[in-house]
Amino acid sequence: MLAVYGSLVPFQFRWLAWDEVLQQSQQLRLAHLRIQSRTDFVANVLLFIPLAFLVMGAVCVDRPPGRAIVAGLILVPLCAALSGGIEFVQIYFPPRTPSASDIVAESLGGALGVLLWLTAGRRITGWARQVWSSRHGRDLASLILPVYLAFLVLINVLPLDLTLSPADIYRKYREGRLTLVPFASFCANHSLMLGKALWNLLWFLPIGALLASLPAFSWEDRRNWLRVWGLGLVVATLIESMQLFVVTRFVDVTDIVVESLGVLAGWSAVRCYQQLKIRSRLRFLSEPRGLRWIFVVWLGLVVFLTWRPFDFQLDSAFIADRWSRFSLVPFADYWQGTEYNAFDQFLHKLLLYLPLGLLLGSWARFAKGTHAGLLTVVASLCLASLLELGQFCLPDRQASLTDVLVEAGGAWLGFFGLRKWREQSSLARDRTGN
């Protein structure tokens, strides 16, 4: 459904005569195959990989291997047929345009999704089950860390417009997209660069937290902070250097410094948590007063990232113009930009509100309620809507219904994840008799 929805946004239906439909459908012939945008082609491939993989999982999980082969042979042409049907329907939904290259890309994505299941489906399923049923933080950290590192590599090489040409890399340097002096970019735009630094810090915090939770990693020794920071520096340098070969990405040494400090901060936070837990000084974190202070800090971060640079304009004509351009169709505003920007925006909004769900799940009186999950979604919708309304008064911001829905989804994900972890921990204690 998501593949169909994303292919027809913004749903501007227009009825056409059959002759005109036949004329436009000529664009679907392979003779008109032209890859106008490599990024768009890759995005269409990636769109159908999870679709095919999940269908294969639903049909073939815990089934004999022969069934998977048969299902794959059936699913690949079905993906091609679905892609062709979607592209044909796009004729009725301008400004979407049918394209033979999209059919080829999506069919290729379907084939790759099937191949991924046939080669690694059982291992991926086993890993997911281990994560789902893990009752010990150290075991969970060893399962998640390599996957999270792979995820960071992926989001840093998107939109996959890769190059190995030394001339392209030198051109990036001449155009100012390769900054070798730390914090030099802060002189140009303090607010923008501070927001970017905060996100880089947040992206690399989990690496340090997971390192501190590994079974073989000793976090008790204070002298390990230098080793952790050095490891974070190596990881950040490797990931940032990959952006040298991505044509549209900027490379800044400042990011390496901030990201390595993020690894150290994540490790230090878990280390302090463990020490306070040993000394039984963590009760305030589960008390309403402690949760209120954590919520205030989180809310301040969200307000800064949502409303910066705080250049509000309260002119009624300005606000009316912004309202006239506000889309009530979810994900329509994401479609207007590039695929990379849409993915980046989705991830940022989802992760930004995940702590709200964790905070609400940590509030014992609230979390024990019958409809706590639903109330979490309602509360996050109200808060996100209020902050989005403020963006109507900001010239450099655009209010988005999609952001509100994604942010509410992030809050629910945090609440659900914490509740699941607590259920597994409770089961573990019951089985051990503690």
- Bond preceding residue 330 cis, omega within 30 of 0: no
**Secondary structure of the chain: what % helix, strand, coil (to 5)?**
75, 0, 20
What are the extents of the domains in the chain? Answer: 2-128, 135-280, 282-434
Write out pLDDT tens, residues 239-271. Answer: 988 888 888 888 888 899 999 999 999 888 888
Q: Give whichever of 166-175, 216-225, 418-427 has the largest mean pLDDT.
A: 166-175
Say how many Å lie between the first and final Cα of the chain, rounded: 46
The residue that leads in pLDDT, 267 or 141, is 267
pLDDT of residue 234: 93
Q: Give whichever of 168-172, 189-193, 334-338, 380-384 has the largest mean pLDDT.
A: 380-384
Write out pLDDT tens, residues 51-71. Answer: 999 999 988 888 887 888 899
Q: Which of 98-107, 281-290, 314-323 has the lowest mean pLDDT?
A: 281-290
- Please give the full DSSP string across 290-314, using - where no structure is assigned: HHHHHHHHHHHHHHHHHHTT-----
Q: Mean pLDDT throughout 365-384?
A: 83
Residue 21 has pLDDT above 80, yes or no: no
Asked if residue 363 lies in contact with residue 281, where contact means CB atoms within 8 angstroms, the answer is: no
The residue that leads in pLDDT, 399 or 35, is 399
Other C-beta atoms lying within 10 Å of the C-beta of residue 354: 20
pLDDT of residue 268: 86
Measured CA angle at 63 (ends 60, 65), to 5 deg:
85
In a 10 Å sphere around its CB, with 0-12 CB exposed, 13-18 middle and 19+ buried, how is residue 34 labelled? Answer: exposed
pLDDT of residue 46: 83
Residue 7 has pLDDT above 80, yes or no: no
Give the DSSP H/E element, type plus range, for residue 397. Answer: none
Nearest C-alpha neighbor of 80 from the set 103, 57, 50: 103
Rounded-to-integer distance, Cα 90 and Cα 25, Å: 10
Q: What is the largest CA-CA distance in the chain?
A: 78
And the tokens for 131?
Answer: 């994560």
Q: What is the CA radius of gyration of the chain?
A: 24
Under the banding of pLDDT at 50, 70 and 90, the label for residue 4 is confident
pLDDT of residue 243: 87
Q: Mean pLDDT throughout 156-176?
A: 80
Other C-beta atoms lying within 10 Å of the C-beta of residue 311: 12
Residue 422 has pLDDT above 80, yes or no: no
pLDDT of residue 367: 67
pTM of the complete model: 0.74
pLDDT of residue 130: 75
- One-letter amino acid of 334: Y
Q: Mean pLDDT throughout 115-144?
A: 78
pLDDT of residue 135: 56
pLDDT of residue 287: 61
Write out pLDDT tens, residues 342-369. Answer: 888 888 899 899 999 888 887 766 667 6
Residue 136 has pLDDT above 60, yes or no: no
- Please give the full DSSP string across 262-287, using - where no structure is assigned: HHHHHHHHHHHHHHHHHTT--HHHHS
Nearest C-alpha neighbor of 83 from the set 38, 48, 36: 48
pLDDT of residue 263: 92
Mean pLDDT of all residues belonging to the chain: 81
Rounded-to-integer distance, Cα 60 and Cα 419, Å: 29
What is the CA 370 to chain-centroid distance, rounded?
A: 29
Write out pLDDT tens, residues 176-218. Answer: 788 887 877 766 667 677 878 888 898 999 898 888 877 665 5
And the tokens for 227?
Answer: 């080793």
Write out pLDDT tens, residues 77-96. Answer: 999 999 888 888 888 888 77
Under the banding of pLDDT at 50, 70 and 90, the label for residue 279 is low
pLDDT of residue 155: 85
Q: Is 179 helix (H, G, I), strand (E, B) or coil?
A: strand
Under the banding of pLDDT at 50, 70 and 90, the label for residue 277 is low
And the tokens for 406?
Answer: 């994604």
183 Rama class: left (phi>0) / alpha (psi -120 to 50) / beta: left
Residue 432 has pLDDT above 60, yes or no: no
Contacts of residue 116, defined as CB under 8 A and 6 or more positions apart, other chains included, come to 49, 53
